C-alpha cells in the first residue's frame, strides 16, 4: 500500500496542483528548510472571510512539493479565521504516509504549514 502512496507523491511532484504565482494575494509568505534547501512560497486569496484560491511556488524534494500541492487544495473553502487552527497532524494526514521515523522528511512535509502560519501572522 505504501508503494501506491509513494507513486502518488511522485506524480504530484511531476505534475503539482495549484502551482504558480498569484497576482495580488491577500496572504503571502516564503519559507525555507535550511537543512536541505527546500523552499515554498504560499499565496492565498480570500473573499468574505473564506479562502477562494491558494497557490504555491517552490523547489525541493518530492515530499515538500507534493505536500504543498495537497495543502493548497486543502485550504480552499476554509474560513480565514480558522486557518490558525490547522495542525501538524492535519497537514501530515494529506500525504498518507508515515513520516514519524524520518524527522528530516517531516520537516519537508510541514513547510506549507510553516508558510501558512507565517502568512497569517
Judge whether residue 1 has pLDDT over 70: no
Mind listing the domains of the chain with CATH numbers? 2-120 (3.90.1010.10)
Helix, strand, coil % over all residues of the chain, rounded to 5: 45, 20, 30
What is this structure's pTM? 0.92
Question: Is residue 33 over pLDDT 60?
Answer: yes
Which residues are paired to 51 by β-bridges? 46
Average pLDDT, the chain: 93
Check pLDDT > 90 for residue 69.
Answer: yes
Tens of pLDDT, residues 85-106 = 999 999 999 998 888 888 888 9
pLDDT at 72: 98
Distance CA 41, CA 64 (A): 11
Asked whether residue 8 carries a pLDDT value surpassing 60, the answer given is yes
pLDDT of residue 5: 61
Q: What residues does 31 pair with on adjacent strands?
A: 40
Phi, psi of 45 (to 5 degrees): -115, 145
pLDDT on residue 3: 59
Mean pLDDT score, 69-90: 97
pLDDT mean over 74-86? 98
Amino acid at each position: 500500500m505504501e508503494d501506491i502512496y509513494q507513486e502518488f507523491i511522485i506524480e504530484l511532484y511531476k505534475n503539482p496542483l495549484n502551482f504558480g504565482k498569484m497576482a495580488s494575494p491577500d496572504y503571502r509568505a516564503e519559507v525555507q528548510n535550511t537543512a536541505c534547501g527546500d523552499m515554498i512560497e504560499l499565496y492565498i486569496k480570500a473573499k468574505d472571510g473564506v479562502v477562494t484560491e491558494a497557490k504555491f511556488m517552490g523547489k525541493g524534494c518530492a515530499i515538500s512539493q507534493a505536500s504543498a500541492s495537497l495543502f493548497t487544495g486543502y485550504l480552499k473553502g476554509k474560513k480565514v479565521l480558522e486557518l490558525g487552527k490547522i495542525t501538524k497532524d492535519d497537514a501530515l494526514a494529506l500525504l498518507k504516509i508515515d513520516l514519524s521515523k524520518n524527522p528530516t522528511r517531516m520537516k519537508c512535509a510541514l513547510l506549507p504549514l510553516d508558510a501558512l502560519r507565517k502568512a497569517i501572522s
